[in-house]
């Protein structure tokens, strides 16, 4: 089921026969979609909303495979990182996963699309806070303004 579309991105919700529920952030055409983020949803006992119902997110498992590769590479670093910079946030599933697993790390997310960040907030639970700051800018503009 398509929940929403904005800035060339599409939020899909998939209910499997075993009762599991997933949300996907995809780009591209209906014939050739690119999966950018996937998260398993756990329904809550609240009334449904126009955003496909209230859910919480299972962030113990990370998908898709390229997110798994990033997390695996981080395990090879001898010192735990103090900061992360995400140039392109998408649904925010990777930053939100890392917030749980790196509790002393601060993160900055930069995305050129306010529409995509809006989808991420509404459908994937993305939120900014003291450890995750979000910026709507191009990566180039952000890097130019933060060069040392």
Q: How far apart are CA 30 and CA 141, in angstroms?
A: 31
pTM of the predicted structure, to 2 decimals: 0.87
Instruction: For residue range 93-138, list pLDDT tens digits in order.
Output: 999 999 999 999 999 999 999 999 999 999 999 999 999 999 999 9
Burial 31-60 (b: 16+ CB within 10 A, else e): eeeeebbbbbbeeeeeeeeeebeebebebe
């Amino acid at each position: 089921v398509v929940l929403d579309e904005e800035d060339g991105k599409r939020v899909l919700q998939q209910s499997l026969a075993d009762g599991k529920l997933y949300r996907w952030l995809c780009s591209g055409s209906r014939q050739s979609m690119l999966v950018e983020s996937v998260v398993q949803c756990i329904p809550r006992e609240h009334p449904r909303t126009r955003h496909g119902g209230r859910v919480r997110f299972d962030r113990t498992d990370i998908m898709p495979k390229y997110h798994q590769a990033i997390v695996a590479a981080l395990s090879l670093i001898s010192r735990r990182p103090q900061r992360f910079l995400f140039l392109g946030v998408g649904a925010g599933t990777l930053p939100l996963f890392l917030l749980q697993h790196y509790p002393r790390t601060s993160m900055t997310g930069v995305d050129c699309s306010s529409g995509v960040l809006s989808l991420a907030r509404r459908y994937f639970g993305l939120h900014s806070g003291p450890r995750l700051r979000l910026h709507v800018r191009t990566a180039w503009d952000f890097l130019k303004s933060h060069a040392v």
